[in-house]
Amino acid sequence: MSILRTVVRGVGSYLPAEILTNADLVKIVDTSDEWIVERTGIHARHRAAPGEYTSDLAVHAGRAALEHAGVDPSDIDLVVVATATPDHTFPSTATEVQARLGIQHGFAYDIQAVCSGFVYALATVDAQLKAGMARRALVIGAETFSRILDWTDRTTCVLFGDGAGAVVVEAVESDGLVTDRGILASSLRSDGRHRDKLWVDGGPSTTQTAGHLRMEGKEVFKHAVTNLADVIEVLFAETGLTGADIDWFVPHQANRRIIDATGRKLGISPDKVVMTVQDHGNTSAASIPLALDVAVKDGRVKRGDMVMLEAMGGGFTWGAVLLRW
């Protein structure tokens, strides 16, 4: 029987020009290259220029994905931007991107699930395409976390970076086999009891300011590996696949130690893990599509490969998407 599958047609990304190395950060806060590399695996991150906004990053990444897909903006009827750092409180960054790409039909909205945003967006768009609400979507993760960092707090300011990544996805007829291309399964979770462990201390309704990121790093770390492994096991149970069936593991890039531990727990061999945290830092909702773009463009991720995406972030939110590239 024929069903609808959400297939990735193209991928693209954008990183702002300025690179901040660990050596640059040593001049700003009491830290060291050794501490940052040992605890996180991060060597460098990018930072948006003054006047360069989340929507600018998103438009660059979106255009790159459309070009890679060979799809004209006029063929997109849904634009979703996953971001926790929108240009404005409203309207959504997605409507800004929609206008700048010259798309005058369909609909656009933002998704706010912090670092899990891209996984949330992809799973939600998958459901909407299958329900027939749209045919072809541009799904973007874009962040300017440099704008909400407290640059005097060494426990957070060394961890994050700015950037954007995007995919073009399309609903196609499929026999629904595990060998067919597209999103096979996804699972989303949240547990708001942990909302104060990774949060921003401002907002329109509370302080009328954007606020700064605050994190109990150890607490986040403690939950991350367990939560991520649990949600991936759900997808394995649903599809009958195991870690040995995964060609590429493309996790949210927060910390090398979390990525290594999750891969080990799931039986995914280290040479199948896409790692970009060393060059990008944690770019929140942008990290997965940025990593995907790197691994597709350097020839690692190829058509027909089985790819597992996963992320965890503030809320807590977490989730995973399993797809045949």
Alpha-carbon span 79 to 97, nearest angstrom: 8
Distance of closest approach, residue 89 Cβ to ligand UT7, in angstroms: 22
d(CA 108, CA 83): 13
Quick check: 259 binds ligand UT7 (CB under 6 A)?
no
What residues numbered 182-221 form the site for ligand UT7, per CB under 6 A?
Answer: 217-218, 220-221
Whichever of 219 and 245 has its CB closer to ligand UT7, that residue is 219
Beta strands in 181-263 (DSSP E): 182-190, 198-200, 213-215, 248-251
Catalytic residue among 60, 194, 252, 280: 252
What is the spatial distance between Cα 111 and Cα 305, in angstroms, rounded to a whole number?
A: 27
Q: How many residues are there in the chain? A: 325
**Residues of span 131-150 touching ligand UT7 by CB under 6 A:** none
Question: Nearest approach, Cβ of 168 to ligand UT7 (angstroms)?
Answer: 25
Q: Is 128 left (phi over 0), alpha (psi -120 to 50) or beta?
A: alpha
User: Is 282 labeled as catalytic in the residue annotation?
Assistant: yes
Amino acid residing at 25: L
Of 14-22, 34-42, 90-98, 266-274, which part binds ligand UT7 (CB under 6 A)?
Answer: 34-42
C-alpha Rg value of the chain to the nearest Å:
18
* SS3 at position 235: helix
Binding residues for ligand UT7, total number by CB under 6 A: 19
Residue 319: CB minimum distance to ligand UT7, A = 13
* Candidate segments 45-53, 236-244, 250-258, 263-271, binder of ligand UT7 by CB under 6 A: 250-258
Q: Are strands 162-174 and 3-14 parallel, antiparallel or unpaired?
A: antiparallel
Would you tell me which residues interact with ligand UT7 (CB under 6 A)? 31, 35, 39-40, 115, 154-155, 158, 217-218, 220-221, 224, 254-255, 258, 282, 312-313
The residues assigned a catalytic role are 115, 252, 282
